[in-house]
Amino acid sequence: MEAALEKSVLVTGFSPFPGMPVNPTALLIERLKHRLPHYRQSVTFRYERLPTTWAGREDVTAPLRHKVKPDAIVHFGVDGSRPQINIETRAVNRATCLKPDAAGAMPVSPKLDAEGPDERFSTLAALPLRNAMRATGVPADLSRDAGAYLCNATLWDSIGSGIPTIFVHVPSISHGKRDPRLCLASLEEAGIALLRDLARRL
């Protein structure tokens, strides 16, 4: 008999939101789900798409963490202003009131936690993951600026849960041969490299 799967990694993407009618991270996790359901029968990956809403933090994401009880979390989100992949190493205690979520709602407060610290730091080693992605030929680097939208809030919450967590910002994807942005296939290969590297070190 095959050995039981011993550890799990929760891997998430996001649904569309204003200004991003097709979220590449939703497409990415569907591809990853079929390409990498587990790693060497010792780590299984659970792929989920999160709503891009402030209410979803408590209604969906927090219960999902509690239900899955993963050994690590990898969140994927999109930032259309970035030309490359960024692995975020920090979340800040801030929520933007300048941009509505997918439900048209704004955060209830400019702070994610009224009594919390100013920042929280990612709890998975970012440098090896960046190097694994770079090895596929995809440009990737570390970042300390996850923004103040739901990407930052999701990273903030997951770090606060005590589960080892990292957040990966991807650029918007290309729409043709003359479009210089990364294609979905390149993001897929980089994502697989990151997840395999993480699984080896769990």
- Tell me, yes or no, if 97 is annotated catalytic: no
| Angle at alpha carbon of residue 97, lines to 91 and 101, rounded to 5° | 85
Beta-bridge mates of residue 8: 44
Alpha helices, H only, the chain: 24-35, 56, 62-68, 126-134, 150-160, 184-200
Distance in angstroms (rounded) separating the CA atoms of residues 141 and 147: 16
Select which of 95, 151, 187, 190 is catalytic. 151
Distance in angstroms (rounded) separating the CA atoms of residues 183 and 172: 9
List of residues 6+ apart from 104 with CB closer than 8 A: none
List of residues 6+ apart from 172 with CB closer than 8 A: 20, 24, 78, 80, 181
Active-site residues: which are they? 151
